[in-house]
Chains A and B, each alone.
Chain A
Amino acid sequence: QQQVKQSPQSLIVQKGGIPIINCAYENTAFDYFPWYQQFPGKGPALLIAIRPDVSEKKEGRFTISFNKSAKQFSLHIMDSQPGDSATYFCAANFGNEKLTFGTGTRLTIIP
């Protein structure tokens, strides 16, 4: 079954802290793992993505860590800011056509 499990459901972190959001998948055929950021009233926007041949990818303050053997990947946000407060979704895909999304993590960064 193509599922992506995401945790935690919600997260509160102080400004400057490093929130970590985790995802686990079941289908070993998945070969593309993006993270999306969604603000209220807006559609999801691509933040960063990784392929399974790489264990880590950094773009600015955002880092994906990927563990292929454990079938897990995570998002780290360095030096978090109140403007990072949003809902974050992990997703997975193989063969194009569709993304399978996690259930989302509502992140709040407090000043």
Chain B
Amino acid sequence: ETGVTQSPTHLIKTRGQQVTLRCSSQSGHNTVSWYQQALGQGPQFIFQYYREEENGRGNFPPRFSGLQFPNYSSELNVNALELDDSALYLCASSFSRAVYGYTFGSGTRLTVV
């Protein structure tokens, strides 16, 4: 199967709750990067996972955490949700940490109420 798949597509959570978003990498890709895209803004880098280890992190608090699995799929976990966490969360897969090979998924739209 080709392409990056994200689930769920939409999610509504209450402030203070926890959420887990999932990403299935494109075939042959071993790196997953997560981005947050607020409404009307460009994507902001959250972190990257390569070989199941966090390889880099943007300016996001520790309540944003992730995992990468041996099959290169990934999860983004957000604890203690805040209203400002409402955004489109994008996953991008690539090969060997490269950004020029990025393939983005369609994202998960998270709404925190």
Contact = CB atoms under 8 A, between A and B. Distances in A.
A59 to B, nearest CB: 14
A65 interface: no
Nearest to B107: A43
Interface in B76-111: 90, 92, 97-100, 102, 104-107
Contacts of B20: none
Given A43-B90, A97-B48, A104 B105 contact: no
A104 B48 contact: no
A89 B107 contact: no
Contacts of B62: none
**Chain B binding site: helix, strand, loop or mixed by DSSP?**
loop
Contact of B42 (A34, A43, A103): A103
Interface string A23-67: 000000000101000000111111001000000000000000000
A103 B4 CA distance: 23
Given A43-B104, A44-B104, A100-B45, 14 more contacts: A43-B90, A43-B106, A43-B107, A46-B102, A49-B100, A89-B42, A89-B43, A96-B99, A98-B33, A98-B56, A99-B45, A99-B99, A99-B102, A102-B42
Interface of B: 4, 33, 40-45, 48, 55-56, 58, 90, 92, 97-100, 102, 104-107
